[in-house]
Structure 1
């Protein structure tokens, strides 16, 4: 069946009795198209357009041929059969329209990369700026979201916002120190100061800037890029001692000093350092004792609002809550404004725990290892570490020694 037959409808008809050949000739003479003519027992089977069937039936009487409809195909017959299911197809159209309308809004805001700030904290901030569930995607400018978050949270150094499907995904990075160039605009500031005071402002860059030791230790290696080395490999230095001087000497071929100049010293200095570890903590500690009582409160989430089921409200004096939430999505990042969840409240009471000697030593080891891991995170390579634990009546005292290798060059600003 061709495309025209699909839209206008077609019939599969069986012709029997009389003179089928005369019937076919009459149809051809009157311009009625018959296709797929084939022998079917003592008769013939063929296809005809639905609109030509009534004219063909008149011609069949002249040829004394009986026409029997075997199959009806095409859109007109489909619609006629579907009259009793009209509500079903209307529902499909309405559902399609709702899905399209839903795709124009944001129904899920996802945070990624945040550790210090919880999702709830960041969502409340976005809500104060007008970014909420159910807002139109056309009204969202991702660059403005990134700028607002960076300006409000000083320790969030990188933000990326993007719209994927009907989700707003915000990725952030925290606690990264960004270095800024200290020399930018110094000449402009100098000229402005001279114009205001009428006096010449001395050029501090001519005095030079030294590289000093951020920590005491024994120099293991040293690379000087600019400046004059003030110490050598194997020397023991103290905190604040000059490692590379910002004063350079200019001499003639005979080694006579012509003049001195100031530069910003720069270089890499690696030293062997020692950390003396000391820690003390009480053998008693606060802990939470869970009574085993809990209450579960269920809710339905619709278009950004929670609708709680009656009952299960948290009436405990002290408790913690666990919020479990699920949102309906059809595929990928296409989410619907429908979801459900539960809030489970667990009652607890404050209690006091006491470390045993074994538990105190385990806690001391845990704290010591955490201290070493913090050093490693600060680019301090721990070479050797040892500690001693003394468990008393009320406290646990820990002392230790850590030998490390680290960069100690600190450039003056």
Structure 2
């Protein structure tokens, strides 16, 4: 591979040797140190490749062996430059383009953020911009370790950050703490260990199951509890020999508790709706569909034409394309189109079957969300009621669901302590 590259840079010839002593020609070239490769024997001739400098040494060999040499092809950069020697502007532009690509490849043109669920890309990009991390900066100014530390410090629920430079892209991968009870910093956790926390009921229900881990149980399965009632106490009493309370041990209550509760459900649907008929093509006596283009470079935008919504029954659709050089070199240059599409609103009325299908679909979606939260449906008493103007799915669900939320304990005062 390397030999072929250097031969192309130096240039070589493809020749054909004819005569009655081609074998003597090859032997003579080998004796004189003339390099030949790519030898292809023919019926009465032989083709091969030879360097330019060695080609000039063939005259005595041809005279001695009685052979004749014909040049078939000229290959390499010297012949390419000679062929286009009068087109200096082409070579100047190619060189300038290569230098420009080399300089641009040393900059960051795209910041790719992956794994963020709680915070949007725009929020993280604004934070990075406040730290002078943005598109167009030099790769040498990127400190991936510092970026990871700053993100972890700014967002408490981000537990892992990885920053790396790939081509002209700054790739940031984050992992958030999806556990609702684990969204504190290390300092807050240490502080919370000294503060007792109770596990209290977050709704009215009947306790069906308790699996305690830490804390003191205050209720038993079968008990009916109200919202806010303590289920697991974070105060562990300390007693003396006389069974008198002399203090408390502070803990953060923790347990798996499930309860039986009734969830009300209501979903109201208007029987009438507005159906939009869009006009993508021009029609007689109808509003005209208009389109305009724009060019955006970073924060600057150049619009070709003024496009605004002039009527109420119009929608503005925008599409944008980012210019890329290859797969990884994304330039901060965007081409976009804005299209104003007119429409006509037609009042329509749902049929009874459509009402049932829409309300049933919404109810099934609601049940799927409950199942994701670990809720088990025991009894379903939801029914669909239709009226002249509105229809509704209304009723109650009897469910088994996780119960309990953390709340700071109320520490009682101990008036007298034994000496």
Distance change (3 Å), C-alpha of 1:385 and 1:59: closer
SS at match of 1:99: helix
Superposed displacement of residue 269, structure 1: 4.5
Alignment check: 8 A CA contact 1:322 1:344 kept? yes
Corresponding residue number in structure 1 for 2:204:
216
Superposed displacement of residue 287, structure 1: 4.8
Corresponding residue number in structure 1 for 2:412:
none
Alignment check: 8 A CA contact 1:217 1:237 kept? yes
CA distance in 1, matches of 2:171, 2:372: 29
Aligned length: 382
Distance change (3 Å), C-alpha of 1:8 and 1:363: closer
Corresponding residue number in structure 2 for 1:314:
308
Match 1:407 to one of 402, 408, 411 = 402
Corresponding residue number in structure 2 for 1:262:
248
Match 2:258 to one of 256, 266, 271 = 271
Superposed displacement of residue 274, structure 1: 2.0
TM-score by length of structure 2 reads 0.64
SS at match of 1:332: coil
Alignment check: 8 A CA contact 1:216 1:237 kept? yes
| Residue ranges of structure 1 left out of the alignment (5+ in a row) | 188-203
SS at match of 2:289: strand
CA distance in 2, matches of 1:399, 1:39: 91
Distance change (3 Å), C-alpha of 1:152 and 1:370: farther
Deviating more after overlay: 172-181 vs 98-107: 172-181
Alignment check: 8 A CA contact 2:12 2:50 kept? no
| Residue ranges of structure 2 left out of the alignment (5+ in a row) | 280-287, 409-419
Corresponding residue number in structure 2 for 1:107:
109
Higher gyration radius (CA): 1
Pairs within 5 Å for 1:299-378: 299-300=294-295, 306-310=301-305, 313-318=307-312, 319-336=314-331, 340-348=335-343, 358-378=353-373
User: What's the RMSD between the two structures over aligned residues?
Assistant: 5.3
Corresponding residue number in structure 2 for 1:167:
169
SS at match of 2:213: strand
1:5-60 Cα deviation digits (max 9, x unpaired) = 8738578586979xxx9xx99x99xx965566999999999998755776775898
Alignment check: 8 A CA contact 1:300 1:307 kept? yes
CA distance in 1, matches of 2:362, 2:47: 91
SS at match of 1:98: helix
Match 2:218 to one of 230, 234, 256 = 230
TM-score by length of structure 1 reads 0.65
Corresponding residue number in structure 1 for 2:283:
none
Superposed displacement of residue 286, structure 1: 7.2
CA distance in 1, matches of 2:236, 2:298: 68
Pairs within 5 Å for 1:41-60: 50-51=52-53, 57=59
Superposed displacement of residue 126, structure 1: 6.2
Corresponding residue number in structure 2 for 1:179:
183
